[in-house]
Amino acid sequence: MSILSVHDIKKSYGAIQAVGGVSFEVEPGEILGVIGPNGSGKTTLFNSILGQIKPDTGRVEFEGKDISGGSPLELSRLGIGRTFQNLQVFGKLSLRDNLILAAQEHTGTFWGRMFAPPDNGLADRAQEMLDLFRLNHVADLPAGSLSYGQQKLVDIAMAFMPKPRLVLLDEPCAGVNPSLVDGLRELLVELNRKQGGSFVVIEHNMDFIMKLCHRVVCMVEGKVLAVGKPEEIQGNRAVLEAYLGN
Amino acid sequence: MTDFMQLLLSGVATGAIYAMAALGFTLLWQAAGTINFAQGEFVMLPAFAMLIGMSMGLPLWASFIVAVALSILVLGAAFKKWIVDPMRGSGVVSVVVATLGLSIGLKSFVKASYSAEPHPFPSIFGDEVFKLAGVTISYSDVGALVFAGLMVVGLQAFLNKTITGRAMQAVAQNTFAAEALGINVKRMIFYTFAINAILVTVTALLITPTYLAKFDMGDNIGLKAFFAAIIGGFNNSRGALLGGILVGVLENLAGAYLTPAYKDGVALALFLTVILIKPDGLLGTPQERKV
Amino acid sequence: MKNVKLLSTQHMVFLGLALGALLLAPSMLKTYGLYLLSLWLVYVIAAMGLNLTVGYAGLKSLCHAGFMGVGAYTVAIMMKAGISFWIASPVAIVICFVLGLAIGFPALRVQLHYLGFATLGFNLLLVLFFRNEEWLTGGTFGIQNIKRPGFFGMTLESNTSFYFLVLAVTIVFGVLLALLLRSPWGRAFAALRDNPIRAESTGVNITAYTLMSFAIGAAYAGIAGALFAPLVNFIEPAPFGISNSLLFLMMVVIGGSGRFYGPVLGAAIALLLPEYLRFLKDWYLAVFGFTAVAMMIWLPGGLLSMKEAWQLSQAKRAAKQKQIAEAAASAGVKGAAA
Does residue A17 surpass a pLDDT of 90?
no
Q: Per the CB < 8 Å rule, is C208 touching A110?
A: yes
Q: What is the pLDDT along chain C (338 residues), one digit of tens a residue?
A: 344 567 788 889 999 999 999 999 998 888 899 999 999 999 999 999 999 998 888 888 889 999 999 999 999 999 999 999 999 999 999 999 999 998 887 767 665 667 788 888 889 999 999 999 999 998 889 999 898 888 777 778 888 999 999 999 999 999 999 999 999 999 999 998 888 888 998 999 988 998 999 999 999 999 999 999 999 999 999 999 988 998 899 899 889 888 999 999 999 988 888 777 777 777 888 888 898 899 888 888 888 888 888 887 887 788 788 778 777 777 766 555 54
User: Inter-chain contact B116–C282, Cβ cutoff 8 Å?
Assistant: yes
Residue C19 lies in a domain: no
Q: Give contacts of B264 with chain C, Cβ < 8 Å.
A: 124, 128
The answer to the question of residue C282 being in a domain is yes
For position A246, what pLDDT does the model report?
A: 47
The per-residue pLDDT for range A106-151, each reduced to its tens digit, is 988 999 999 999 989 999 999 999 999 999 999 999 998 898 888 9
C250 and C327 housed in the same domain? no
Q: Which 193-222 residues of chain C touch chain B by CB within 8 A?
A: 197-198
Cβ-based contacts of C186 with chain A (< 8 Å):
118
Does C110 share its domain with C248?
Answer: yes
Best residue of A83, A85, A86, A90 to probe chain C, by most C CBs closer than 10 Å? A90
Please give the pLDDT value at position B290: 36
Do C310 and C289 lie in one domain? The reply is no
Domains in chain A with CATH codes? 1-79+164-246 (3.40.50.300), 89-162 (no CATH)
Say what the pLDDT of residue C186 is. 94
Residues of B in contact with A86 (CB under 8 A): 291
Tell me whether residue B265 is in a domain: yes
Strands, E, within chain A: which ranges?
Answer: 4-13, 16-26, 31-35, 57-62, 65-66, 80-82, 166-170, 198-202, 215-220, 223-228
Residues of B in contact with C113 (CB under 8 A): 35, 92, 96
Domain count, chain C: 2
What is the Cβ-side half-sphere exposure of residue C236, based on CA atoms within 13 angstroms?
Answer: 6
Query: What 8-state DSSP symbol labels residue B181?
Result: T
| Co-location of C60 and C82 in the same domain | yes
Structure confidence at residue B273 (pLDDT) = 85
Domain assignment of residue C321, given as a range: 306-338
What's the mean per-residue pLDDT of chain B? 88
pLDDT of residue A34: 93
Q: Distance between terminal CA atoms of chain A?
A: 37
Interface of C with B in 240-269 (CB under 8 A): 242-243, 246-247, 249-250, 253
Q: What is the pLDDT of residues B27-45, one digit of tens each?
A: 898 888 888 999 999 999 9
Task: Please give the residue of chain C at the shortest CA–CA distance from B260.
Answer: C132
Q: pLDDT: is C113 or A242 the higher one? A: A242
**A interface toward C at CB cutoff 8 Å?**
71-73, 75-77, 82, 84, 88-93, 97, 100-106, 110, 113-120, 123, 158, 162
Residue numbers in A near B291 (CB within 8 A)? 84, 86, 88
Residue B289 located in a structural domain: no
Both C163 and C310 in one domain: the answer is no
- C11 lies in some domain: no
Q: Does any CB of chain B come closer than 8 Å to the CB of residue A90?
A: no
CATH code assigned at C201: 1.10.3470
| Secondary structure in 3-state letters for chain C | CCCCCCCCHHHHHHHHHHHHHHHHHHHHCCHHHHHHHHHHHHHHHHHHHHHHHHHHCCCCCCCHHHHHHHHHHHHHHHHHCCCCHHHHHHHHHHHHHHHHHHHHHHHHHCCHHHHHHHHHHHHHHHHHHHHHCHHHHCHHHCECCCCCCEECCEECCCHHHHHHHHHHHHHHHHHHHHHHHHCHHHHHHHHHHHCHHHHHHCCCCHHHHHHHHHHHHHHHHHHHHHHHHHHHCCECCHHHCHHHHHHHHHHHHHHCCCCCCHHHHHHHHHHHHHHHCHHHCCHHHHHHHHHHHHHHHHCCCCHHHHHHHHHHHHHHHHHHHHHHHHHHHHHHHHHHHC
Q: How many CA atoms lie within 13 A of C267 on its CB side?
A: 21
- In this structure, are C198 and C320 located in the same domain? no
In a domain, C208, yes or no: yes
Both C276 and C319 in one domain: the answer is no
Chain-centre distance for alpha carbon B205 = 12
C153 and C175 in a single domain? The answer is yes
B193 near B32, Cβ under 8 Å? yes
Complex ipTM value: 0.89
Is residue C26, in this structure, part of any structural domain at all?
A: no
Asked whether residue B284 is assigned to any structural domain, the reply reads no
C322 near A CB under 8 A:
no
Count of CA atoms in the C-beta half-sphere (13 A) of C45: 30
Residue C40 in domain: yes
C98 Cβ partners below 8 Å, 6+ apart? C215
A:C CB pairs within 8 Å:
85
Give chain B's domain count. Answer: 1
Based on the fold, state whether residues C311 and C240 are members of the same structural domain: no
Nearest C-alpha neighbor of A19 from the set A228, A169, A203, A220 = A220
Give residue A140's pLDDT.
92
| Separation in Å, CA of A11 to nearest CA in chain C | 23
Residue at A65: amino acid letter: K
Residues C211, C334 share a domain: no
Which one has a higher pLDDT value, A15 or A166? A166
Residue C89 lies in a domain: yes
Whether B290 maps to a domain, the answer reads no
Query: Quick one: C52 and C135 in the same domain?
Result: yes
pLDDT in the model for residue C335: 55
CB contacts, 8 Å: C182 with chain A = 118
Contacting partners of chain C (3+ CB pairs under 8 A): A, B
C247 and C109 belong to one structural domain: yes
Question: CATH code at B89?
Answer: 1.10.3470
Which chain B residues touch C198 with a CB distance below 8 Å? 291
Is residue C8 within 8 angstroms of chain A, CB to CB? no
Domain that holds residue B55: 2-277
pLDDT at A94: 93
Query: Of B90, B107, B85, whose CA–CA distance to B39 is shortest?
Result: B107
pLDDT of B291 strictly over 50 = no
Instruction: Provide, rounded to the nearest whole percent, the portion of chain A with pLDDT above 90.
Output: 55
When the pLDDT of each residue in chain A is averaged and rounded to a whole number, the result is 90
Output Rg (C-alpha) for chain B, integer angstroms.
Answer: 19
User: Does C184 contact A93 at a Cβ distance shorter than 8 Å?
Assistant: no
Is B95 part of any domain?
Answer: yes
β-bridge partners, A33: A201, A216
Residue C3 forms contact with A (CB below 8 Å): no
Q: Is residue B291 part of a domain?
A: no
Interface check C140 vs B, CB under 8 A? no
